[in-house]
Structure 1
């Protein structure tokens, strides 16, 4: 029987709030990846795992997509978090808010190119 990690209730609550307060870029990206619209990849949004809340996760492809504002520029916490998830077998893609707003097609192609070799 698979063991599912139970996030702390406070993280589940924070994730729910973050889903309501998402940025324009997060909403734009969610509209094109939700419900398997992007080549059938199943993404979940604002997923609490361990002590993190991930913006978007495709568990089948073990792919995390983070949408960052400038507060994340060269963040040590982000690097440590990416390394932790890499050890768990995940690839993390990070995009800037304005990159998504200006060039959504490029972002989607990047996600697809990373996912294509990863979906089992």
Structure 2
């Protein structure tokens, strides 16, 4: 089992080296845009890091590129382990996301048994804080 620091460093490295498909899917899932659900990237479930997880529904969303064809047995072992812990695992190919991201979002909602609803986040904020957030200094004062 990796130490907490090792796990955090690995999660950061994976976030920083994400594929185009991972970046696109994350941009659509973050900020509760899909059905009001909160998702996390690189969520630890020892000994694994889940690509994208919805903790409230124990859903693991995995994106697979070409290299996953070579490690299918390991992926199946991982999936069985997570399912034994109560997680649902849903996998998509990178091409699925890049070619039709809305179908992927609809499949996630369908897997959870909830009605598909997408609220695009506003582009006015770059982070989690708005101009009126407590703790954010107002330089005009």
Task: State the TM-score, normalizing by the size of structure 1.
Answer: 0.87
Residue 82 of structure 1: aligned partner: 79
1:23 pairs, out of 19, 25, 34, with 19
Summarize the alignment of residues 1-120 of structure 1 with structure 2, pairs less than 5 Å apart: 8-73=4-69, 75-116=72-113
Structure 1 runs not aligned, ≥5 long:
1-5
| Cα contact 1:56–1:66 (8 A) shared by 2 | yes
Report how far residue 21 of structure 1 moved: 1.1
Give me the CA root mean square deviation: 1.5
| Cα contact 1:7–1:48 (8 A) shared by 2 | no
Task: State the TM-score, normalizing by the size of structure 2.
Answer: 0.75
Number of equivalent positions: 112
Which structure has the bigger radius of gyration? 2
Report how far residue 116 of structure 1 moved: 2.7
